[in-house]
Amino acid sequence: MTVITWTDDRVEQLKKLWEGGLSASQIAAELGNVTRNAVIGKVHRLGLSGRAKSPSSAAPRPRKPRPAQQMVRMPRPIARGNTALAHNYEVEMEPDPISVDNVIPISQRLQLVELNDATCHWPVGDPASADFYFCGGKSVAGAPYCAHHSRIAYQPASDRRRAAPKPVR
DNA sequence: CCCTGATTCGC
DNA sequence: GCGAATCAGG
């Protein structure tokens, strides 16, 4: 497939047709092998964008944040109640800096069924283990964790720039 | 919804 | 530099 670019010939024809008042799509059809987007893009690059264009088109466009598909950024896929890990390797959860996990009073510890909006959902220990439990502390408003654990759970971790693969468009 | 040009931005 | 995606307007 011959992929021809903008040869002098085609550019000249483009200019002629454009200034002739033809629309971008018409020009694209005339030239062939190009889309009207390509034509418009080229026209702009050539600097002959302003024809007798509509003033409305020159309307001040503030800026487009262009989130494309807005992607919901979760704080972190922290281990929720039960991920049913078949594997046995060390659960790499954020190690508690102050090691509160070991200090949570047994009386406060909860089983899954005991959790509610007011209790901290922070899992402690191996979910597959019998001594697994949830923190059970007092949940902070808007968070499923107590003040201490929500601080851990919602830590920024890392801001990645644009790691969007986007192989096909 | 069709069209238009305009703009942005990943490639 | 190129052009698809996206936008805003008619």
pLDDT digits (tens, 9 = 90+) for A36-78: 999 999 998 888 777 655 444 444 555 555 554 455 555 666 6
Instruction: Provide the phi-psi class of A123: left if phi over 0, else alpha when psi is between -120 and 50, else beta.
Output: beta
d(CA A155, CA A138): 19
Query: How distant is C1' of B2 from CA of A21, in Å?
Result: 20
Global confidence as pTM: 0.41
pLDDT reading at A161 higher than 80: no
A69-122 pLDDT tens trace:
455 555 666 666 666 655 555 555 555 544 555 567 777 666 676 677 778 777
- Return positions of chain B under 7 A from a protein CB: 3-11
Query: How distant is C1' of C7 from CA of A66, in Å?
Result: 10
Could you tell me the residue ranges of all domains in chain A? 8-55, 106-162
